[in-house]
């Protein structure tokens, strides 16, 4: 490979990073805020105290689960924009055994909740696959529609069958019994089981996509479904499997939100984590090797930005501007590279 080509490949991510910070800096200057002060909080605020660090880890765990699941669908050539709905349905399904059998041993109940959550997310994603396969509906539009439906079901459960004993409330259902909460480190909100499960999921998916025949077939379908089918790969089946696998991991993330974060079902149980996972997967180009560092960075940006309103008097959404700009400029450089390769 030519040296100029190597330099171009090495500088392309740096150029995207500089462009994203330049764009965000202009947005900050337009509000009269010092960019250095804002960046100090956004980039390092999550590491300033043990509590904020634990909050960052607890955000990164479900975020990584969603991003890992999306790496599977991206490998299969699918854009699963329904990951938010799958996370919500996973949380709802996880609540079923927690409410029906609260007297069961907590470890067994957590296992049942995890299995139910994964089944709920996989089922919701499977519906998207069936709509694509038999009704010709793009998974993009089907996923977005299913997100709204899942949100409506969560709202119905919170205000209807699972409403608080005192009165229905948008703040969520009654809290789970304390013994059903995942154990946390003293004086912190960190449940060690959450990041451990997310890292295990990352390792398993990396192995499945890169070291197994199934992963090879998924990647073949993602590159060219027609050619893969001619080689004997069941393309339609692999597409359904990738969606179901992504939905299962998103459902597991919803279960984590229930037992480790909110300890109840709330209407906004996904908290935008699924959509943030899309940005993570896009920026990492669905490469499992990059998912963890990008996830940590995005989680740190989100937690660090919470201090912006109190400290600088600006909205915490500036972290979203930086995250979106990073993805936008990274994709722009990638498109340019692909265009040049096609012309060459």
- How far apart CA 281 and CA 286 sit, in angstroms, is 5
In the predicted model, is pLDDT for residue 192 greater than 60?
yes
- Give the count of beta carbons closer than 10 Å to the beta carbon of residue 3: 7
Q: What is the mean predicted confidence (pLDDT) over 19-25?
A: 85
Predicted confidence (pLDDT) per residue in 198-228, tens digit: 999 999 999 999 999 999 999 999 988 888 8
Helix %, strand %, coil % of the chain (to 5): 75, 0, 25
Tell me if 302 sits within 8 A of 319, measured CB to CB. Answer: yes
Helices (H), the chain: 3-30, 35-44, 50-75, 83-100, 106-135, 139-159, 193-211, 213-223, 225-230, 235-256, 273-283, 288-305, 308-311, 318-343
pLDDT of residue 225: 87
Q: Which of 120-124, 170-174, 236-240, 277-281 has the highest mean pLDDT?
A: 120-124
- How far apart CA 55 and CA 41 sit, in angstroms, is 15
The token pair that represents 52 in the structure block: 């904020």
Tell me if 137 sits within 8 A of 131, measured CB to CB. Answer: yes
Higher pLDDT, 229 or 11: 229
Give the Å distances, CA to CA, from 253 to 60, 66, 148, 260.
10, 7, 18, 10
pLDDT of residue 342: 43
Predicted confidence (pLDDT) per residue in 254-295, tens digit: 999 999 999 999 999 998 999 899 989 988 888 888 999 999
In the predicted model, is pLDDT for residue 180 greater than 90?
yes
Q: Which of 274, 237, 234 is nearest to 257 (CA)?
A: 274
- How far apart CA 45 and CA 56 sit, in angstroms, is 10
């Amino acid at each position: 490979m030519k040296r100029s080509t190597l330099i171009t490949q090495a500088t392309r991510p740096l150029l995207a990073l500089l462009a994203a910070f330049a764009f965000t800096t202009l947005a900050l200057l337009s509000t009269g805020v010092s960019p250095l002060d804002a960046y100090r909080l956004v980039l390092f605020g999550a590491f300033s105290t043990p509590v904020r660090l634990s909050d960052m880890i607890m955000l990164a765990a479900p975020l990584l689960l969603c991003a890992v699941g999306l790496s599977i669908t991206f490998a299969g050539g699918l854009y699963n924009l329904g990951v938010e709905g799958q996370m919500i349905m996973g949380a709802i399904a996880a609540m079923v055994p927690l409410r029906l059998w609260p007297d069961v041993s907590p470890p067994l109940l957590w296992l049942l909740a995890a299995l139910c959550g994964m089944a709920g997310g996989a089922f919701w994603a499977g519906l998207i696959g069936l709509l694509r396969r038999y009704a010709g509906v793009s998974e993009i539009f089907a996923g977005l529609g299913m997100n709204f439906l899942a949100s409506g079901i969560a709202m119905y459960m919170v205000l209807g069958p699972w409403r608080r004993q005192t009165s229905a409330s948008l703040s969520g259902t009654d809290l789970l019994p304390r013994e059903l909460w995942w154990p946390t480190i003293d004086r912190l909100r960190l449940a060690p089981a959450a990041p451990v499960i997310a890292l295990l999921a990352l390792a398993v998916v990396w192995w499945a996509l890169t070291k197994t025949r199934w992963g090879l077939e998924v990647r073949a379908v993602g590159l060219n479904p027609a050619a893969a089918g001619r080689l004997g790969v069941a393309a339609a089946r692999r597409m359904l499997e990738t969606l179901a696998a992504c939905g299962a991991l998103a459902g597991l993330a919803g279960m984590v939100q229930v037992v480790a974060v909110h300890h109840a079902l709330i209407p906004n149980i996904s908290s935008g984590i699924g959509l943030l996972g899309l940005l993570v997967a896009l920026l990492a180009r669905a490469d499992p090797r990059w998912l963890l560092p990008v996830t940590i960075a995005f989680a740190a940006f989100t937690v660090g930005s919470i201090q912006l309103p109190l400290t600088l008097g600006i909205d915490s959404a500036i972290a979203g501007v930086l995250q979106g700009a990073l993805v936008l400029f990274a994709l722009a450089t990638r498109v340019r590279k692909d265009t040049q390769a096609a012309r060459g």
